[in-house]
Amino acid sequence: MKNIVLIGFMGTGKTCVGRLLAYRLNRPFIDTDKKIEAECGMPISDIFTVFGEAYFRRQEKMVISKVSRYTNSVIATGGGAVLYPANIARLKQNGVVIALTASLDAILERTGRRNIRPLLNCENRKGKIAGLLQEREKLYNLADFSIDTSDSTPQQVIDTIMFLLRQEGYLRGGT
| 164 part of the interface to ligand S3P, by CB under 6 A | no
Closer residue to ligand S3P, CB minimum distance, 115 or 156: 115
| 154 part of the interface to ligand S3P, by CB under 6 A | no
CA separation for the pair 165, 137 (Å, rounded): 23
Q: What does the angle CA 105 – CA 118 – CA 65 come to, to the nearest 5 degrees?
A: 100
Closer residue to ligand S3P, CB minimum distance, 10 or 74: 10
List strand residue ranges (DSSP E) for the chain, in order. Answer: 3-8, 29-31, 74-76, 95-101, 145-148
CA separation for the pair 127, 142 (Å, rounded): 24
Taking CB under 6 A as the binding criterion, the range among 7-15, 88-96, 100-108, 147-155 that sits at the site for ligand S3P is 7-15
Q: Map the footprint of ligand S3P across residues 25-44, applying CB under 6 A.
A: 33, 44
Closer residue to ligand S3P, CB minimum distance, 118 or 154: 118
Among 68, 74, 75, 79, binds ligand S3P (CB under 6 A): 79
Amino acid at 93: Q
Q: What is the per-residue binding string for ligand S3P in 8-27, x denoting contact by CB under 6 A?
A: --x---xx------------
Cα first-last separation, the chain: 12
A 10 A CB-CB count for 165 gives: 19
Closer residue to ligand S3P, CB minimum distance, 105 or 168: 105
Closer residue to ligand S3P, CB minimum distance, 82 or 161: 82
Return the bridge partners of 7, or none.
Answer: 99
Q: Map the footprint of ligand S3P across residues 81-140, applying CB under 6 A.
A: 117-119
A 10 A CB-CB count for 156 gives: 13
Chain residues binding ligand S3P by CB under 6 A are 10, 14-15, 33, 44, 78-80, 117-119
